[in-house]
Structure formats: C-alpha cells, structure tokens
Amino acid sequence: MDFDVIIIGGSYAGLSAALTLGRSTRNVLIIDAGKPCNRQTPHSHNFLTHDGDRPVDIAKAAKAEALKYPTVRFLEGNAISAKQIGIGFTIGLEDGGSFSARKILLATGLKDTLPNIKGLAACWAVSAIHCPYCHGYEVKNEKIALLMNGDHAFEMAKNLHLWNKDLTILTNGKLGFTAEQTEKLKSKSIAILEEEVVELEHQNGQLENIVFKSGKKLTFKAIYIKPEIDQHVNFSDQLGFELTDLKTIKVNEQQQTTAKGVYAAGDCTTLFRSLPIVTAAGTMAAVMINKELISEDF
C-alpha cells in the first residue's frame, strides 16, 4: 500500500483526522478538490477560539497544522473512483493517477442544490442562509423570510421565533400546512405568502428585496433556505456502503460505514453541518482507524 490512510476531502473533518493520524505516525494522503461548500460564507460561528473568523482562514491554519507532521501529505485533485483491492483500496484521480491505502476516510461533504431563483446563488451563505445557530445572531430582531413549506417551514419558524419576531413564510406555491399549523403561525403573527418568488435583489450577496411573479417587492434582511442535498462525491456503489434516507453516509458511533475499512466523517454523514461537530467526527474517525490498524498489526 502507498499509504496507511487516504482521506478524501481536505476541509475541517478531513484535516482534523489528518492531524490525529499524523500524530499517530501514520502515512496519510489527503486528496482535496479545493471547493468547500462554505467557500462563500464570510464568517464562521460557534467554534471556540474561532468565533467570527473566516472559514478560509480556519481551514488554512488547520492545513498548516496537519502538514507539520512529516507523514501527512496533501494533494490537490479530484478523486473520481474507489475500489477495494485485497486488504486495501485504490483511489483513482481525474488526472489518471491512482494511490492505494489500507483504510479510506471519506470527508467529502455535501452538495447543495438551490431553487432556480435569480440572485439566490449569489446570496447563498451570505444572506440566504440555512441555520440559525450558524447565522441567526447576526440577523436577530430583523425582518426575515423563510423560503420553505410544510412541516419543515413550521418547525423552522417555531425555532426562528426566538431570534426574530418579524417572520414571513414564502411557500412559493400552494401552502402545505395543516389547519392547526396555520392557526399557530397566525397566532404568532407569522405571515404566509403563497406567491411565486422570481428574484432576490442584492448587493454583493446581501439581500435587499424579494421580487414576486406579480412584480411586487418586499424588503428583508435575510432569507432562510432549505436546499436539496446530495453527496458531493458518491462512492457508495463502488465501495458498497449504505446511505441513509436523508442521503447522508450511514456511520456508527465510531464513524465506520457499513463497508469494512471505509470510514466517513463530516457533512457527508450528517445534516448538522457545524464546524465543532465535523471536526470532532474527524478526530473520532482517525482514532478508530488507528485502533483498527493497531489491532491488525499487533
């Protein structure tokens, strides 16, 4: 084998794992395509000692720390294939290269698919946001929109009411609430609009107005979105591990997938996409990978 462990994905979970494995004197290769899902996010929050820092700066510092260890190597590239060979695995790259390892850690993140609304992509992760724990404090007590419907919209409105009393749910079509949900929302003065949204007017990603199909415009400080998610890179068929009903990689408490020798950590395994959560998962995965390698060699 070329390496003890290949980590696919060099963001927070992957780098956290690499740090732990490097300190365990394991030969590690990190393969990263350089396109983290939070690359447009101006500030990160809820991460001790880094609250308010830019994600790119946190990742840069994390990479430097992991690469201080001489057995850790970082390669910029796209991993496009994976297969088991005997007691290990081979990973194929887009440029035709390949590497082998005894264990694999997938830290490949999730891919967000946004509604096809003009201006939304530019606002995403700036003023079009998804998580009140990540972004809610910065827009508290402001006029906020929710572009969602049904049970998810109801639960999000209930949660956001802690931060914002001026809430408007944009169902973008016929509403999907029960009579009881609608009555509860009205009792909290949460508005519901069914008209189709066609554009987000913004300045450098900062939302100014939401434009509806009728031409009507409403001003909001931010808008919460529930994007469709999928695996950024999906090796489930090639490696034989299971996905959950939510399209995340199924792992146990040790970050093991259902395929022997294949581990996963970070956003690809959970919808709770928070830096402290994914870095902790990367550390756990590294410890359990190292433990498995020790048991095999002892």
> pLDDT value at position 55?
87
> pLDDT value at position 289?
98
Q: Quick one: 37 and 98 in the same domain?
A: yes
Q: Quick one: 126 and 221 in the same domain?
A: yes
> pLDDT value at position 36?
76
> pLDDT value at position 38?
72
Among residues 194, 225, 256, which one ends one of the domains?
225
Q: What's the domain range around 160?
A: 115-225
Q: Quick one: 104 and 127 in the same domain?
A: no
Question: What is the layout of strands, in order, in the sheet containing 197-203?
Answer: 197-203, 206-212, 217-219
> pLDDT value at position 274?
86
Find, among 33, 55, 39, the residue nearest to 108 by Cα.
Answer: 33
> pLDDT value at position 45?
86
Q: Which amino acid is at 22?
A: G
Q: Quick one: 106 and 134 in the same domain?
A: no
Model pTM score = 0.92
Burial of 210 (0-12, 13-18, 19+ CB in 10 A): buried
Could you report how far apart the first and last alpha carbons of the chain are, in Å?
18
pLDDT per position in the chain (298 positions), as tens? Answer: 899 999 999 999 999 999 999 999 999 999 999 887 777 787 888 888 898 889 899 999 999 999 999 999 999 999 999 999 988 999 999 999 999 999 999 999 999 999 999 999 999 999 999 999 989 999 999 999 999 999 999 999 999 999 999 999 999 999 999 999 999 999 999 999 999 999 999 999 999 999 999 999 999 999 999 999 999 888 999 999 999 999 999 999 999 999 999 999 999 999 888 899 999 999 999 999 999 999 999 9
Q: Which structure tokens are listed for 177?
A: 């609430």
Q: Which amino acid is at 129?
A: I
Q: Quick one: 280 and 242 in the same domain?
A: yes
Q: Quick one: 104 and 136 in the same domain?
A: no
Q: Quick one: 22 and 149 in the same domain?
A: no
Find, among 189, 193, 155, 199, the residue nearest to 174 by Cα.
Answer: 193
Q: Quick one: 244 and 190 in the same domain?
A: no
How many structural domains compose the chain? 2
Distance separating alpha carbons of residues 142 and 208, to the nearest angstrom: 13
Among residues 225, 252, 277, which one ends one of the domains?
225
Cβ proximity of 40 and 125 under 8 Å: yes
Among residues 225, 251, 280, which one ends one of the domains?
225
> pLDDT value at position 72?
98
DSSP the chain: --EEEEEE--SHHHHHHHHHHHHTT--EEEEE-S--TTTT-S---SSTT-TT--HHHHHHHHHHHHTTSTTEEEEES-EEEEEEETTEEEEEETTS-EEEEEEEEE---EEEE--S-BTHHHHBTTTEES-HHHHGGGGTTS-EEEE--HHHHHHHHHHHTTT-SSEEEE-SSS----HHHHHHHHHTT-EEE-SPEEEEEEETTEEEEEEETTS-EEE-SEEEE--EEEESS--HHHHT--B-TTSSBP--TT-B-SSTTEEE-SGGG-S---HHHHHHHHHHHHHHHHHHHHHHH-
> pLDDT value at position 253?
96
Distance separating alpha carbons of residues 158 and 103, to the nearest angstrom: 43
Q: Quick one: 238 and 209 in the same domain?
A: no
Distance separating alpha carbons of residues 73 and 195, to the nearest angstrom: 52
CATH of the domain at 133: 3.50.50.60
Q: Quick one: 244 and 169 in the same domain?
A: no
Q: Quick one: 140 and 104 in the same domain?
A: no
Question: pLDDT tens for residues 84-118?
Answer: 998 899 999 999 999 999 999 999 999 999 999 99
Beta bridge partners of 93: 79
Burial of 145 (0-12, 13-18, 19+ CB in 10 A): buried
Q: Quick one: 256 and 215 in the same domain?
A: no
> pLDDT value at position 272?
86
